[in-house]
Amino acid sequence: MTAPLPSMPLHLVNDPENERYLGSYFDVYPGVWRHGDWVTVDSDLSVVVAGRSDSALNRMGVRMGSADIYAVVEQLPHISDSLVIGAELPDGRYFMPLFVVPAEGTTFEDTLRNSIATSIKQKLSPRHVPDVIVPIAAVPRTLTGKKLEVPVKRIIQGAAVADVSAEGAVTHPEMLAWFADFATRLSAGD
Higher pLDDT, 117 or 23: 117
Q: What DSSP character marks residue 107?
A: P
> Tens digits of per-residue pLDDT, 130-160?
999 999 999 999 888 889 998 999 999 999 9
49 has pLDDT over 70:
no
70 has pLDDT over 60:
yes
**Span 9-38, average pLDDT:** 75
- Please give the Cα distance from 69 to 80 (Å, whole number): 14
- Please give the Cα distance from 100 to 98 (Å, whole number): 6
The whole-number pLDDT of residue 149 equals: 92
Higher pLDDT, 184 or 30: 184
CB 48 within 8 A of CB 42: yes
The type of residue at 76 is L
- The contacts of residue 108 (CB under 8 Å, 6+ apart) are 100, 102, 135
- Please give the Cα distance from 71 to 154 (Å, whole number): 24
